[in-house]
Each structure stands twice: as C-alpha cells, then as structure tokens.
C-alpha cells in the first residue's frame, strides 16, 4: 500500500491510499494523473514511521513533501509544494518548504507571522476565564 495524489493541471485534488495495481487498473481514472507520495517525507527528508527520527535509508524520501489537497506538483523539482502562506516567504530549494524572511524566535513562546510588519508577533496567552465557554 502507498499514498497517491491525483494531480490535475499541477494541483493536487485528491490523496488516497492504494496499491499500485489499483492505480494502474484505471478504476480511479487516468493512471497518469496519480503520483506516488510519501507520508513519511517532509522537507526532503524521509522519517522513520511514527517518529521524528530521520530514516538512515534516505533513498525512501519521495517528492520532498507529502502531498496535500491544494498543493502544487512541480515536475521540474519532482516535488509537492504547499501554497505560499505569505507574499514575503520564499521557497527553500532543498526542502521545497516556504521559509519566512525572519527566523521565528526559539524561546518556547508562541508566535504568529505578521505580514504587514514582516515579523513574528508574540501570541498573547489566554487566561482560564477567556478559554471558558
């Protein structure tokens, strides 16, 4: 079994789990519209299943990232690329992930991107009263 992305006009419209023979049978449409994707590949690195540990066998890394609906399949890079989240972010050519122009602080606090100021803004903590229904 494997994951396959249905790609029409370079956009992922569906992702399924199937056997290659099922895809090749044409029962799910044109077999040429289906491209294999790896659930365990992220940023060009293949990880051991259910872990954050890179697989020693990186030959299993497939198409840079696991395909998601709305992602682009870039034939030249042979990569699935998520939509650009902000105009200021740039594509990292190795990972095919979008990178902010300013690194997010690594201080254990929560931040969100502010495109207007092109910077990370601290997310204020909610008090218990604010979180109650």
| pLDDT per residue as tens digits for the range 87-132 | 999 999 999 999 999 999 999 999 999 999 999 999 988 776 655 5
- pLDDT recorded at residue 126: 76
- pLDDT at res. 63: 98
- The fraction of the chain above a pLDDT of 70, given in percent, is 95
Task: Provide the domain limits for residue 127.
Answer: 2-131
* Residue 42: its H or E element: strand 41-42
Task: Give dist(CA 42, CA 27) in Å, integer.
Answer: 29
- Model pTM? 0.87
Q: What is the pLDDT of residue 129?
A: 64
Task: Tell me the C-alpha distance between 63 and 92, whole Å.
Answer: 14
Count: domains in the chain = 1
Return d(Cα 78, Cα 112) in angstroms, integer: 30
pLDDT reported for residue 29: 95
């Amino acid at each position: 079994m494997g994951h396959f992305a249905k790609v029409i006009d370079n956009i992922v419209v569906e992702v399924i789990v199937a056997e290659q023979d099922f895809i090749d049978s044409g029962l799910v449409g044109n077999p040429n519209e289906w491209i294999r994707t790896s659930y365990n590949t992220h940023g060009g690195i293949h990880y051991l299943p259910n872990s954050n540990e890179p697989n020693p066998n990186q030959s299993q890394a497939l198409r840079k990232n696991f395909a998601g609906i709305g992602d682009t399949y870039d034939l030249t890079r042979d990569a699935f690329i998520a939509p650009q989240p902000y105009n200021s972010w740039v594509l990292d050519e190795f990972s095919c992930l979008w990178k902010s122009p300013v690194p997010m602080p690594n201080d254990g606090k929560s931040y969100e991107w502010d495109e207007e100021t092109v910077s990370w803004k601290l997310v204020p903590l909610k008090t218990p009263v604010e979180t109650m229904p």
